[in-house]
Amino acid sequence: MREEELLRIPIKMDLEYRYPTGKHFTHFFRVLKEEGKIMALKCPKCGYVFLPPRPACGECRVPLEEWVQVSDKGTVQAFTAIHFRFHDANLGRERPVPFGSALIQLDGADSLLNHYLEENDVTQMHIGMRVQAVFREKRQGNIGDILYFRTIRE
Amino acid sequence: MARKVAIIGTGQTKHGSQRDDVNMMEMVHEAATAALQDAELSIRDIDAVLLGNMEMFEGRALPEMWCGEGAGGTFKHCLKIATGGTSGTSVAISGFQHVASGLFDIVMAIGFEKQSDGHTPAGMALTDPLWDRHVAAGAIGNFALSISQYIAARGVTPEQAAKVAVKARRNACNNPYAHLQLAQITVEQVLSSPIIAHPVHRLDMCPTSDGACAIIYAEESRARRICAHAAWIRAAVTRHDYAYLGDLKDRLTSMRTLRDAARVAYAQVRIREPLKEFDVAEIYEPVSYAELAWYEALGFCKEGDAGRLIDDGITLMGGELPVNPSGGVLSTNPIGASGTIRVAEAALQIHGKGGTRQVPGVKMALVSGYGVYSWSDVMILSSSPG
């Protein structure tokens, strides 16, 4: 076969998706939207308080039914400032950098919430730092209703 | 009772950032052909073909359908295994289990990924649409968060992590298939490369690669007949864990899936002092800091001593336990193949075909796989069937 220049075929896709949330996420998002409260589910056996909500405790393998309200305040357990550019699947475009990101233990929860920090300077972040959720003005009933967490002094 | 099983051949593509000279199926074919050649077998000898790949990155559905033919799977038992980053070790474990079960005698397992075809960070961000997708910043974001906890718990330094990054890229110079081969790389260069997510520098992180790797397994009588230095599978363990990054408080520091997989595998082979008893390790280290954490989870040292292991050169070529003579994932990362490469490289060491990356007299080799904190795989390979 004659040597030819090899091709790459460019393809662009523009699609829409809809995801059913199931009854546990539905309750969580409804209370978040209507009352501005963050709800979690407590395991009846080991007592672990799960956020996000889910039907069962993976370790005890028992159903979760007891809803508990957790605080909008919490403690940073892990932090970073993201500097690399990437295509954000939610936005459908690049997310502006740098931005602060953290694993936050909300008061009353056991699992950690992965969310944004208002702070994007890593020298101003540390484990143990206290933060509070800042909510979207007009809540829509999704996790984006929490815009980010701001540093607080108590 | 499971049958004894050995790896009798391996094959890899030349891995690189952009294999535009082949499409995905042709790339898989390249690895499959190399493995058959290594084992001196024909595709007619293969009873089953197993594929390992992490879909979504290339924006292509059914990669196993497109690539099954390239792997020689037409009219054979042919299927795909996928467990995130562990896909490559999971498909290798499945290959072993297929033969150990007694239902198949000779099986080929192939891991592959062609990252340059698509958008890996966007593919990584296509996580749970209800929750994590909102804040997903790919593998790098997950690691950066976990590393802040690991540093706080263990006091490892950026210099110690950079030494791991340097070791990998220098070792890669002895591996003709490796993607990033940087003979002159220094700790200072790693530390002065741009921060991608604090505290991770660009050179602390694995590259994005195109590549494929194939392994051929055989049951005992054929393995003894075909291969003079067969690599016997002595243990193969998978552990799965919670999905959300925040579900566990200290994922990297505790790495409980890897710890438990190692505990079970070591008990099966009666390994008590892994640092002494293994001759080589090929572990899945997507970021420099992870290798240090895995030293602890795999029992190479006490908790908090991982930094000393790299400072003292114990895991360098020529050290007490060379870790990743191949250059590891930090040098070559075709995701679905990255785990399979670990298994193939460990087998190569036992086959005595390691070339300039050969560790002398390898009898016992350790392999690990990592999958988005939700999976760990551990395999133990040996020159003796046990």
B124-134 per-position pLDDT tens digit: 878 888 888 88
> CA distances (Å), B214 to each of B330, B339, B373, in order?
20, 11, 25
Q: Is residue A13 a part of any domain in this protein?
A: no
Which CATH number covers residue B56? 3.40.47.10
Q: Which one of B21, B141, B249 has the shortest CB-CB distance to A112?
A: B249
Distance CA B82, CA B91 (A): 8
B228, B200 contact by CB (below 8 A): no
The answer to whether residue A8 is domain-embedded is no
pLDDT band at B57 (very low <50, low <70, confident <90, very high): confident
Phi, psi of B171 (to 5 degrees): -60, -35
Nearest to B141 among A82, A89, A105 (CB): A82
Q: What percent of chain B has pLDDT over 70?
A: 100
Check whether residue B92 and residue B158 sit in a common domain: no
Contacts of A105 in chain B (CB under 8 A): 249
- Cα of A90 to nearest chain B Cα, Å: 6
A124 vs chain B: nearest CA distance in angstroms? Answer: 12
Q: Indicate if the pLDDT at residue B90 is higher than 90.
A: yes
Number of compact structural domains in chain A: 1
Handedness of CA B4, B9, B14, B18 (dihedral sign): negative
Taking the CA of residue A154 and the nearest CA in chain B, the distance in Å comes to 23
Question: Which chain B residues have a beta carbon less than 8 Å from that of A115?
Answer: 135
The residue ranking higher by pLDDT, B123 or B358, is B358
Looking at B193, B226, B259, the residue that finishes a domain is B226
- Collapsing DSSP to helix, strand or coil, A93 comes out as strand
Among B226, B254, B289, the domain boundary falls at B226
A58: left (phi over 0), alpha (psi -120 to 50) or beta: alpha
Inside any domain, residue A92 = yes
pLDDT surpasses 80 at A7:
yes
pLDDT at B163 over 90: yes
Do B144 and B264 reside in the same domain of the chain? yes
pLDDT at residue B205 greater than cutoff 90: yes
Look at residue B128 and tell me if it is in a domain: no
% of chain B surpassing 90 pLDDT: 89
Give the residue on B whose Cα is nearest the Cα of A86: B121
- Per cent of chain A over pLDDT 90 is 79
Residue B126 lies in a domain: no
Query: What pLDDT score was predicted for residue B169?
Result: 98
Residue A2, in any domain of the structure: no
Q: What is the mean pLDDT of chain B?
A: 96
Vertex A20: Cα angle to A18 and A25 (nearest 5): 130
Alpha-carbon Rg of chain B, whole angstroms? 19
In a domain, A140, yes or no: yes
With respect to residue A91, please indicate whether it lies within any of the assigned structural domains: yes
* Residues of chain B with C-beta less than 8 angstroms from the C-beta of A77: 149, 249
- The rounded mean pLDDT for chain A is 94
Query: What span, in angstroms and rounded, lies between the C-alpha atoms of B57 and B35?
Result: 25
Residue B59: how many other CB atoms lie within 10 Å: 13
pLDDT at res. B138: 81
Tens of pLDDT, residues B298-313: 999 999 999 999 999 9
Alpha helical stretches, state H, B58-213: 63-68, 87-100, 120-125, 138-154, 158-171, 187-192
Across the beta sheet with A49-50, what order do the strands follow?
Answer: A49-50, A38-42, A66-70
Contacts A112 to B, Cβ<8 Å:
245-247, 249
> CB neighbours of B104 closer than 8 A, spacing ≥ 6?
B47, B48, B77, B98
- Section B77-86 average pLDDT: 96
Residue B123 banded pLDDT, cuts 50, 70, 90: confident
Contact list, B21 vs chain A (CB under 8 Å) = 6
Counting one residue from chain A and one from chain B, the pairs whose CB atoms sit within 8 A come to 111
Which residue has 């990669």 as its token pair? B63
pTM to 2 decimals? 0.96
Chain B contact for A135, CB < 8 A? Answer: no
Nearest to B131 among A58, A110, A143 (CB): A143
In chain B, the number of structural domains is: 2
CB < 8 Å to A39, chain B: none
- Predicted pLDDT at B127: 82
Cβ–Cβ of A81/B249 closer than 8 Å? no
Q: Tell me the residue range of the domain where A112 lies.
A: 22-151
**Residues in A touching B145 (Cβ below 8 Å):** 78-80, 101-103, 114
- What does the buried/exposed string (b/e) look like for B257-271 if buried means 16 or more CB atoms within 10 Å of the residue's CB? bbbbbbeebbeebeb
Tokens of B31: 């690895």
Q: CA-to-CA distance for A146 and A102, rounded, in angstroms?
A: 13
Residue B50 resides in a domain: yes
Closest CB to A87: pick one of B122, B197, B245: B122
Task: Supply the range of the domain harboring residue B50.
Answer: 5-120+209-226
pLDDT surpasses 80 at A146: yes
Contact A87 B130 (CB under 8 A): no
Q: Using the predicted structure, report yes or no on whether residue A89 has a pLDDT greater than 80.
A: no
State the Cα–Cα distance between residues B166 and B191, nearest whole angstrom. Answer: 11
Closest residue in B to A95 (Cα) is: B137
Q: Does A123 touch chain B (CB under 8 A)?
A: no
Quote the CA–CA distance of B20 and B116 in Å, as a whole number: 8
pLDDT in the model for residue A77: 98
pLDDT at residue A93 tops 90: no
Query: Average pLDDT, stretch B155-180?
Result: 98
Pairing state between β B5-12 and B210-219 = antiparallel
B62 close to A (CB below 8 A): no
Task: Please give the pLDDT value at position A8.
Answer: 86
Beta bridge partners of B364: B382
For residue B336, pLDDT over 90 is answered with yes
Question: Inter-chain contact B121–A86, Cβ cutoff 8 Å?
Answer: yes
Residue of B nearest to A123 (CA): B198
Judged against a pLDDT cut of 90, whether residue A28 lies above it is answered with: yes
Whether residues B246 and B377 fall in one domain: yes
The stretch B339-347 carries a mean pLDDT of 98
**Token representation of residue B65:** 């359908």
Q: Which of B226, B255, B278 is the last residue of a domain?
A: B226
Strand duo B48-52 + B77-81: pairing: parallel
Domain assignment present for residue A12? The answer is no
Tell me, yes or no, whether B158 and B30 share the same domain: no
Most B CBs within 10 A among A64, A84, A85, hence the mutation to make, goes to: A84
